[in-house]
Chain A
Amino acid sequence: MADKVIAGKTVQVNDEGYLLDASQWDKEIAVEIAKEIGIELTDKHFEVLAFLREKKEAGEPLTIRKVGKSGIVDIKEFYALFPGGPLKYSSKIAGIPKPVSCV
């Protein structure tokens, strides 16, 4: 755990750069984290981020499948928005913890 300045604000992050406190998140922070990953955020991205934050708040486990059924994007579009690792990158940008794979 460490302090990090993102978009001029000091936030706490874990070793992998995920925000520890989702309430410290705002849109400028999202843009900045996305830039580090190499993604430029559009309105569609923000719709997905809002969905993730809402589900996280409700305590529902997040999966790629669930995002694919959100009505915002299908799984293919989700991959296109966040190439390489849609759930791990979108979670990082949304300021919520990295989803754990339960097996």
Chain B
Amino acid sequence: MQKLLILGGGTAGTMMANKLVKALDNEEWEITIVDKYKTHYYQPGFLFIPFGIYNRKDVEKPKANFFPPGVKVIFSDVNKIEPDENKVLLEDGRVLHYNYLIIATGTKTVPEETPGLKEKLWYKDIFDFYTVEGACALQRKFKQWEGGKLVMAITELPYKCPVAPLEFVFLADDYFTKKGIRDKVDITLVTPLPGAFTKPVATKMLSELLKDKNINVESEFYIESINNDEKKLVSYDNKEVPFDLLTIVPVNMGDPMIARSEMGDDLNFVPTNKHTLQSEKYENIFVLGDASNIPTSKAGSVAHFASEILFDNIMDAIEGRPLSAKFDGHANCYIETGFGKGALIDFNYDTEPLPGTFPLPGLGPFGLLKNTKINHYGKIMFRWIYWHILLKGKELPVEADMTMAGKKKVSF
């Protein structure tokens, strides 16, 4: 019996289990998926919780609902991978052997990496919205907050869902306007990036939107620590940003198990071939989703597009062919901009987000880098698509490779 082992039953691991169980003969292959948690979170929904648009029940379902019959499921933490021995040690001492291993253990926030973050103001005046606990605590805070300096800060790159902090400030503008206290709320986005986003065309569009909505941007601000007594952010070059209420994206790191296995870089992400998704070091190990170090967004859409490439390459590897599929870094992100509108960006390793229409050239229905109502509906509908189509590994009418059709080249 050959063994294929998947570590991580989140978005990436679940999609792969669903794809592979259909393709591999169950007389010859045993597929096992390991995860330490039993709840699957719809993470794009976390953004909506602070503003009361979603609640906890809207983003949680049991993981077991999405694992297909025929896949062996183990709920346990992993002690470490021993890649030279082709085996994985579980926390309870069990040993799992594998012929092929897929690492899909994702990324998590590590507030302990930033001095002063997880101290006396944590979940009192300082919140994250990358965990369900943080998002729910912030919802309670927002309900009774009467205004002041609201700061949304990013500590370190890369982090999960790069547009989320932008969406957060846009939705905060909407929320406090409707609450009638926008004039008492000063909103500032603090980022280590040179601007609102990394790529020039999208940055221009988003910067104009931020300006229109009276949201300040403090760029190239690399946070050294948080001063709890004086309620301010301090950068490595001694700049300061005061806050009354701070929402933060803590440092993102790969699973500590990656470090225990000595397989990660300095942020515990696994060095991975950005085209084949094979581990740089081990031929029978592949990495999908946020756990890898590939230079594209850490986002579910990336994991989805990459899962199609990885499926082809694993079938090649199993059947003894050279790896034929090449991932282009394709990412596709809805950006909620408040007041019932949204924008959409579509890009890859080489092509920055450009204006146009998606997925059908000229028709859309979604407008790229445009602020429209239909884009917002796209984001709202996506939750249904996620639970019912995407996780189950079914086809979506969108290609894994990015296409230039429907995009307009822009020059300044």
The digit string for B232-249, where 1 denotes a CB below 8 A from any CB of A, is 000011000000000000
Let me know if A75 and B236 touch, CB within 8 A.
Answer: yes
Asked if A66 and B158 sit within 8 Å, CB to CB, the answer is: no
Task: Flag if A76 contacts B193 (CB, 8 Å).
Answer: no
Bound-state Cα–Cα, A69 to B113, Å = 14
Chain B residues whose C-beta falls within 8 Å of the C-beta of A84 in the assembled complex: 237
- Tell me, yes or no, whether A103 is within 8 Å of chain B by CB: yes
Identify which of residues 139-166 in chain B touch chain A, using a CB-to-CB cut-off of 8 Å: 156-159, 162
In contact, A75 and B198 (Cβ under 8 angstroms): no
Interface mask (A45-84 → B, CB under 8 Å = 1, otherwise 0): 0000000000000000101111001000001101100011
Q: Within 8 Å CB of A85, what residues of B?
A: 220
Could you tell me the distance between the alpha carbons of A14 and B162 in the complex, rounded to whole angstroms? Answer: 28
Q: Chain B binding site: helix, strand, loop or mixed by DSSP?
A: loop
Question: Do A102 and B157 form a contact, CB below 8 Å, given A66-B266, A69-B266?
Answer: yes
| Cβ contacts under 8 Å, B157 to chain A | 63, 101-103
Per DSSP, chain A at the interface is loop
Is A5's beta carbon under 8 Å from chain B? no
B197 at the interface (CB under 8 A from A): yes
Q: Is A2 an interface residue (CB 8 A)?
A: no
Contact with A79, one of B193, B236, B266 (Cβ below 8 angstroms): B236
User: Using an 8 Å CB-CB cutoff, how does the interface string of B360-377 with A read, 1 for contact, 0 for none?
Assistant: 000000000000000000
Residues of chain B contacted by A64 (CB below 8 angstroms): 192, 222, 236
Inter-chain CA distance A64–B87, complex, in Å, is: 35
Contact A61 B295 (CB under 8 A): yes
**Proximity bits, A10-21, B CB within 8 Å = 1, else 0:** 000000000000
Report which of B198, B220, B222, B293 forms a contact with A103, defined as CB distance below 8 A.
Answer: B198
CA gap between A64 and B266 in the complex, in Å: 12
- Is B158's CB under 8 angstroms from A103's CB? yes
| Interface residues as binary, B241-269 with A (CB distance below 8 Å gives 1, 0 otherwise) | 00000000000000000000000001100
Q: What range describes how many residues of B lie at the interface? A: 20 to 34
Distance A75 CA – B222 CA, assembled complex (angstroms)? 10
> Which residues from chain B contact A102 at a C-beta distance below 8 Å?
157-158, 198, 295-297
Contacts of B224 in A (CB 8 A): 75-76
How far apart are the CA atoms of A93 and B31 in the complex, in Å? 51
How far is the CB of B347 from the nearest CB of chain A, in Å? Answer: 11
Q: Nearest Cβ in chain A — how far from B34, in angstroms?
A: 28
Is the Cβ of A83 less than 8 Å from the Cβ of B237? yes
Asked if B193 contacts A103 (CB within 8 A), the reply is: yes
Asked whether, in the complex, the Cβ of A103 is within 8 Å of the Cβ of B197, the reply is: yes
Given A75-B236, A103-B157, A103-B198: A65 and B295 within 8 A (CB)?
no
Count how many chain A residues have C-beta atoms less than 8 Å from C-beta atoms of the other chain: 17
Choose one: B162, B220, B295, B297; the contact of A100 (CB below 8 Å).
B295
Q: How far is the CB of A102 from chain B (nearest CB, A)?
A: 4
Which residue of chain A is the closest to B222 with respect to CB atoms?
A64
CA of A40 to CA of B295 in the docked complex: distance in angstroms? 33
Whether the Cβ atoms of B237 and A79 lie closer than 8 Å is yes
CA distance A65 to B236 in the complex (A): 11
Return chain A residues, CB-CB under 8 Å to B297: 102-103
**Which single residue of chain A is at the shortest CB-CB distance from B197?**
A103
Contacts of B193 in A (CB 8 A): 101, 103
A-side contacts of B158, CB under 8 Å = 102-103
Cα of A60 to Cα of B297 in the assembled complex, Å? 18
CB distance from B337 to the nearest CB of A (A): 18
Docked Cα-Cα span, A102 to B347, in Å, equals: 12
Q: What's the Cα separation between A10 and B181 when bound, in Å?
A: 60
CB distance from A81 to the nearest CB of B (A): 11
Contacts of A61 in B (CB 8 A): 293, 295
The distance in angstroms between the C-alpha atoms of A64 and B236, with both chains bound, is: 11
CB 8 Å contact bits of A81-103 with B (1 = contact, 0 = none): 00111000000000000001111
Render B197-209 as a binary contact track against A, CB cut-off 8 A, 1 for contact.
1100000000000
Complex formed: what's the CA distance from A63 to B251 in Å?
13
User: For residues 276 through 321 of chain B, which have their beta carbon under 8 Å from a beta carbon of chain A?
Assistant: 293, 295-297
Known: A79-B237, A103-B198. 8 other contacts (CB 8 A): A66-B266, A75-B236, A76-B236, A84-B237, A101-B157, A101-B193, A101-B194, A103-B162
Interface pairs (8), CB distance under 8 Å: A65-B266, A76-B224, A79-B236, A85-B220, A102-B297, A103-B157, A103-B158, A103-B198
What 8 pairs between A and B have smallest CB-CB spacing?
A: A103-B162, A102-B295, A79-B237, A101-B198, A79-B236, A75-B236, A103-B198, A76-B236
